[in-house]
Homo-oligomer: A and B are copies of this chain.
Amino acid sequence: MSRSATHESAPATAATRTQLLAAAAEIFAERGFRNATVREICRHANANVAAISYHFGDKNALYAAVLRETAPAPAGGPHAPDSQATRTLPPERKFRLFIREFLKRMTEKGPNCHHSRIMAREMIEPTQALDDLVNEFIRPQHQWFQEVVRELTGPGFTAEEIRLMANSVVSQILFYKHCGAVIERLQHRDPFAPERLHQLERHITEFSLAAIHTLAAARHTAKPTRRRTPPKSTQPSTPR
């Protein structure tokens, strides 16, 4: 049989595997593990349906390979937390940068954002990959962001309160990703439309900073008179 389509480049096998990974990354990012089908991925990759089993083993193994191949460098999170450049920024700049990068990764469709978009799908439709994703990406990022929030608030807040504030910020971004179908119907437009993205970023940032600064100011103002919570600044963070 004629095989001109799939044999147009030398090492064809490498080409097929690469095409499968690329197609899978896009489709998993768009639909999630469950709704993405083997047949659709192979159609996009211009490959036979057996190719996934041949090259990767099964659908699960393909998904795991996609996660490995699309993962950012270990130090490269949304914030590049170990980056010298970001480490020395003032907390509010880091805060703004985090929101901007997070929104960007939720909205852009380029290959650099597949991993983040797959993680957004994992959050609401978990697979067996979620444990690793949480341990390797979500937890470190979230902890880094909590540190930023802590720098913003100054002392006086428990670890739990810091976490709740960080959650409140993150939730405002994920909402547009996860509930896009509702927002499209409520507002008759793409929640991440480029012309609106700047306003959305600005709103989330200002809303969150307003809340954090105000709560911090209230805490610092209230501290001298507050007796109901004994001083606990030397207590360790809430254990895992």
Are the CB atoms of A186 and B124 closer together than 8 Å? no
Please classify how large the interface on chain A is, using the bins under 10, 10 to 19, 20 to 34, 35 or more.
35 or more
A183 to chain B, nearest CB (A): 8
A220 to chain B, nearest CB (A): 14
How many Å lie between the Cα of A73 and that of B211 in the bound state?
35
Q: With a CB–CB cut-off of 8 A, which chain B residues contact A204?
A: 168
Partner of A134, one of B167, B186, B208, B218: B186
Are the CB atoms of A181 and B130 closer together than 8 Å? yes
Partner of A211, one of B134, B185, B186, B210: B210
Are the CB atoms of A175 and B171 closer together than 8 Å? yes
Interface flag for A131 (CB, 8 Å): yes
Q: Which residues of A contact B (CB under 8 A)?
A: 122-126, 130-131, 134-135, 138-139, 142, 160-161, 163-165, 167-168, 170-172, 174-176, 178-179, 181-183, 185-188, 199-200, 203-204, 206-208, 210-211, 213-215, 218, 240
A-B contact pairs, 20 of them (CB 8 A): A123-B179, A125-B125, A130-B181, A138-B182, A139-B186, A163-B187, A164-B203, A164-B207, A165-B203, A167-B183, A168-B172, A171-B172, A175-B175, A206-B215, A207-B215, A210-B211, A210-B214, A210-B218, A211-B211, A211-B214
Across chains A and B, which 8 residue pairs bring their CB atoms closest together, nearest first? A171-B175, A211-B211, A210-B214, A126-B181, A164-B203, A134-B185, A210-B211, A123-B179
